[in-house]
Amino acid sequence: MKNGDRLLFSEGSRISFVGRKVACPLLCSLLVGPGCSVFSSPGAPSPELGVISVQRHEIQLTIDPTSHRMRGLDRVTIQAGRREVRAFSVTLNKALVVAWVSSEGKLLPFYPRPVPPSTELDTRHAHQVVVQLDRPARAGETLIVDFDYAGEINDPPKEPRHLRFVTPSETSGYIGPEGVYIGPETYWYPDVPDSLASYRVTATTPPGWEVIGQGGLVAHEARADVTIATWDASAPAEGLTLAAGKFVVEMRMSGDTEIATYLYPEDAGLADEYLSAAAAYLDAYAQVLGPYPFPRFSIGENFFASGLGMPSYALLGAGSIRRHYTQPYALGHEIVHSWIGNHVFNDNDGNWAEGLTTYLANYYWHELKGDLQRAREERRMMLLSYAVYVPPDQDYPVVQFKRKSDQRDNAIGYNKAAMVFHMLRREIGDDRFFAALRTLVAEYGSRRIGWRDVEALFSRVSSRDLHPFFARWINRAGAADVKPEADPDYHAFRRIPRRELHPMLNLFVTDPRRILVIPAVDSAAEPYRELAERVAKREGVALRTAGEVGAAGKDLRDTSVLLLGGPNAGLAFAWAARGLPPGVELRPDGFRVGGKDYHGSRMALLFCFRNPDDPAHVVSVFYGLSPEAVKPVAPLLFFYGWNSYLVFEDGAVIARGDEPLRPAEGATDGAKTERHLRKIRQLTHGRQNAEAYFSFDGRSLIFQSTRDGRGCYQQYVMGVDGSDVRMVSTGRGTTTCGFFLPGDRRVLYSSTHAKGPQCPPKPSARGRYLWSLEEYDIYTTTLRGEDLVRLTTAPGYDAEATIAPDGSRIVFTSVRDDDLDIYSMRLDGTDVKRLTSVPGYDGGPFFSPDSTRIVYRAHHPTDPADLARYRELLARNLVEPSRLELFVMDADGRNQRQVTRNGAANFAPSFHPDGRRIIFSSNLTPSLEGGGEGGGARPIFHLYLINDDGQGLEQVTAEGGFNSFPMFSPDGSKLVWVSDRGAKEKGEFNVFLADWAP
């Protein structure tokens, strides 16, 4: 059984098997039948017990929730080990009384005895039943033995004890009116540890109850008096867990797999969401790992908090179900366990399945979906969790991880192990890595394997001796000795030094020195005091009142501090205020953070920063503007441990962010974060300047500008130092997309002047961002604006023209065939060839340095409604570029391939001089801060680099809210782009040039 991941899923301990003291076993009751006569005395001489394994259980189970009771009739197929067996033992819950045991038609003597102490299993509420065979079983012989037993399973789930995370409630098994949960740790059927058995269970419950089991549902009968369901799990598994409740069942097929939800009536409306999510995961991971190994996947709603993955089903607490826990780290994680952990099992040589499942679900899902920014963020979070929760002196090797009981285990057994698989993948390459995964599932299904087997398998499939790799990463503690500059995208498992982490609540949580400061007593302080008492009690944190510490911050100077309180909290805030970074303010009626002001009684803030007296520690301030703003956040405060600040409105997060590290000595912020850009020069000053592109010799630029008081763009050329600006277009109409022709004596650009001398009217966007497709045609002219030659004559839009570095052809975008597509032509406008034809927008083409390939942007609506909308806008000469993805193709239009899949507006791509990477502009990092002075949020566009296979996303710019139209100089030494950084007026953007630092 697998506990899942983050928050509810991961943060917790495993279900700990703390059984309650079981009441005296009932005497052989009416429910049980006639077996008392064969109950042998525990005092009888003990026969020598043989070694057996269980191969199959066929269980007739009756459940009575009202009385907490069950009765089982288990037909157990056992197999004798290497020696003859005369007697054997099974483990069973102490509260279950065996009525009789029989084999081959004969009753067998049996007696209970305590379980010998074991380090592996918690068997406090189990005992053993020793059974004497009627005749010896030969070595290897299989034998069928029937057990009839009954009793009460009544260990009500207890509230989890942790403060920081929601953990699964603790129970060893429960049958009651709220629901039923019985699993291997319940010992509700006679079992032998370490057996891998198949199971068939026919469960009888009261009418209206539904049982969720493993494998396939092979029979189901809902009668007036009872419901009878038969589940068959033919693939051997480590145990059998059943859940039951008064569920509404929904089912659908996904390929050959049945997907079902078992939800309480009040949540039945969520069925579709879960069924669709499960179908998407099953489909995606079947392609990665091979066919789904079970006939069915069920999602059950649990009556206590849990995130559990059993073979072929997941059991999520009602709270989780209602919070839409369909994310990769939640439902996705449990579904991946269907292959990894619940089909191929861990042996006792350490737990590799959690690391691999975490890698494939929590992390790799984002790569699969093309969300590379998110994938990078997941890698960063894995390193953060190790940095925060695993101090060097508490580290241990991955091989020692068995199961999770705290955050340190999570950081090592889940996150580090996941990063090890990431490094392994980069070491041996995608093809071999994924081939090895499919081999793992195909060869080791229904078997137990350990790290040594994993190492051998990957070595075999990759034809490499990977022992040094595994010895380094699995058998040894620690992280890679890699400098942050050498690994800006977090591909290596390295330790981020604690002092370099951005301030966050988790640094308070994990600091051995910490103090909690609570406000003076008044009615507004009540919610803080409740929180404080909880923290103090469970975490053993020292408490001070705001009055005690005073404005001098008594006792707070060499410790981490959690400062609770609102506007009336007292003088402690005066001490803390000294450490607030510039631009952050706490006021009686509001606060300012992240460049934005927040007001009003619904707002609360969690803000973390370095202790002003000792930056080795952090101060976290939880500051609410009213008790009502504090109450909904307080119980969940420690969920928000990873950010430097979070703004809450009525308890919901509306903004969050991380305080950047302090810049290194002598460096400016920009130089630190825009590491590729050196010596940034602003070439234009004021108004709108855009689309600046290099001449063939790299010494000049052509760009468009509204300078000289113009209402729309004209074309200009200038030197790369910004000198010698000269207009080259006609001054009539509007223009766009200039480009030098080979030889740099002429330029081309697109212009509307043939339609009229005025600026075309702007489209009325009504809140949406629309591009207007004017009646552009492409012209060439000399650098003096003379000898104008028209290259295109088709009606409608012809623009976005660029020229191959070898000077062979022009590529451009046109609507001539009633769709927006890319065309190429000779430099004189002849020999026009259409390169794209998929319905939707294709445009912005740019040649690779060797002129053999083209990168471009496209949006191909597949949904009929989207396509209709695209066509309707196109008919009005409009495009809504809210979603654009990058593509590459050969220069002749063949081999079109999508590069990004992030759903953002990715545009203005051009090639890096290496011909493999692409630089482009995108809003893929969502803006959480408002648009500054203007108020409302707006997207932020930055430049990014990405490999042409969609890997290796890297952010290039960090300044300003708009960065676009990047182009490398022909020799690769410089980058020109357009940005609003340093703008003096709203709507101003300028041309910038920087030296490129590789």
* Binding footprint of Zn ion on the chain (CB under 5 A): 2, 354, 357
Chain centroid to CA 812? 39
Cβ within 8 Å of residue 667, ≥6 positions away: none
**Two tokens at 41?**
């005395």
> What secondary structure, in 3-state letters, does 668-716 show?
CHHHHHCCCEEEEEECCCCCEEEEEEECCCCCEEEEEECCCCCCCCEEE
Between the two ends of the chain, the Cα-to-Cα distance in Å is 48
Q: Which is nearer to Zn ion, 474 or 874 (CB)?
A: 474
C-alpha to C-alpha distance for 701 and 689, rounded to whole angstroms: 12
For residues 354 and 674, which CB has a smaller minimum distance to Zn ion in the complex? Answer: 354
Least distance (Å) between residue 353 CB and Zn ion: 7
Residue 3 CB, nearest distance to Zn ion (Å)? Answer: 6
Q: Which residues pair with 175 in a beta bridge?
A: 180
Q: What is the smallest separation between the CB atom of 581 and Zn ion, expressed in angstroms?
A: 38
Provide the minimum distance between the beta carbon of 340 and Zn ion in the complex, in angstroms, as a whole number.
9
Give Cβ neighbours of residue 452 (< 8 Å, ≥ 6 apart). Answer: 349
CB 166, min distance to Zn ion, A: 16
Choose between 169 and 227: whose C-beta lies nearer to Zn ion.
169
Least CB distance to Zn ion at residue 122 (A)? 19
Residue corresponding to tokens 């010992």 = 187
Residues near 714 by beta carbon (within 8 Å), at least 6 away in sequence:
704, 705, 706, 708, 727, 729, 731, 734, 735
Nearest distance, CB of residue 864 and Zn ion, angstroms: 39
Min separation Cβ 451 and Zn ion, Å: 17
Instruction: Give dist(CA 115, CA 19) in Å, integer.
Output: 14
Residue number of the CB closest to Zn ion reads: 2
DSSP structure string for 744-797: SSEEEEEE-TTT-SSPPPPP--TTS--EE----EEEEEETTS-S-EE---SSS-
Q: Which is nearer to Zn ion, 232 or 354 (CB)?
A: 354
Shortest Å distance, C-beta 290 to Zn ion: 19
The three-point CA angle 695-700-705 to 5° equals 100
Closest approach of Cβ 389 to Zn ion, in Å? 17
DSSP state of 192: -
Sheet of 173-176: strands edge to edge? 154-155, 173-176, 179-182, 242-245, 210-212
Whole-angstrom CA distances from 519 to 525, 540, 567, 570, 627 are 6, 19, 10, 7, 12
| Smallest distance, Zn ion to C-beta of residue 983, A | 49
Residue 9 C-beta: closest distance to Zn ion, Å? 8
Q: CB nearer to Zn ion: give 357 or 824.
A: 357
DSSP secondary structure, 83-108, as one string: S-EEEEEEEEETTEEEEEEEETTEE-
Helix, strand or coil, per DSSP, at residue 978: strand
Provide, rounded to whole angstroms, the least separation between the CB of residue 338 and Zn ion: 11
List % helix, strand, coil for the chain (3-state, nearest 5): 20, 35, 45
Tell me if 171 sits within 8 A of 15, measured CB to CB. Answer: yes
Q: How far is the CB of 355 from Zn ion (least distance, A)?
A: 9
**Nearest to Zn ion of 2, 366 (CB atom):** 2
Pick between residue 359 and residue 907 the one whose CB is nearest to Zn ion.
359
Q: Tokens standing for 313?
A: 């089903």
DSSP string, 226-247: -EEEEEEEEEEES---EEEESP
What is the closest distance, in whole angstroms, from the C-beta atom of residue 182 to Zn ion in the complex?
Answer: 21
Nearer to Zn ion, 2 or 94 (CB): 2
Q: Report the C-alpha gap between 80 and 140 in whole angstroms.
A: 5
Alpha-carbon 200 to chain mean position: 36
Q: Largest Cα–Cα distance of the chain, in whole Å?
A: 115
Whether the Cβ atoms of residue 285 and residue 342 lie closer than 8 Å to each other: no
**Residue with Cβ nearer Zn ion (313 or 573):** 313
CA-based angle 109:113:119, to the nearest 5? 135
Between residues 340 and 874, which has the closer beta carbon with respect to Zn ion?
Answer: 340
Least Cβ distance, residue 171 to Zn ion (angstroms) = 19
Closest approach of Zn ion to the CB of residue 385, in Å: 15
- Measured from the Cβ of residue 924, the count of other Cβ atoms closer than 10 Å reads 23
- Residue 396 C-beta: closest distance to Zn ion, Å: 19
Q: What's the CA gap between 414 and 426, in Å, rounded?
A: 19
- For Zn ion, give the closer residue by CB, 96 or 399: 399
357 vs 385, beta carbon nearer Zn ion? 357
* CA distance linking residue 647 with residue 592, whole number of Å: 10
Cβ atoms of residues 408 and 397 within 8 Å: no
Q: Output 357 or 906, the one with its CB closest to Zn ion.
A: 357
CB closer to Zn ion out of 351 and 900: 351
Closer to Zn ion at the Cβ: 316 or 978? Answer: 316
- Please give the Cα distance from 981 to 822 (Å, whole number): 32
The nearer residue to Zn ion, 401 or 911, going by C-beta atoms, is: 401
How many Cα atoms occupy the beta-carbon half-sphere of 357 within 13 Å?
31
The residue among 85 and 398 lying less far from Zn ion, judged by its C-beta, is 398
Provide the 3-class DSSP secondary structure of residue 119.
Answer: coil
Tracing tokens 């983050």 back to the chain, one arrives at: 6
Answer whether 859's CB lies under 8 Å from 840's CB: yes
| Contact (Cβ atoms closer than 8 angstroms) between residue 778 and residue 749 | yes
| Minimum CB distance to Zn ion smaller for 198 or for 357 | 357
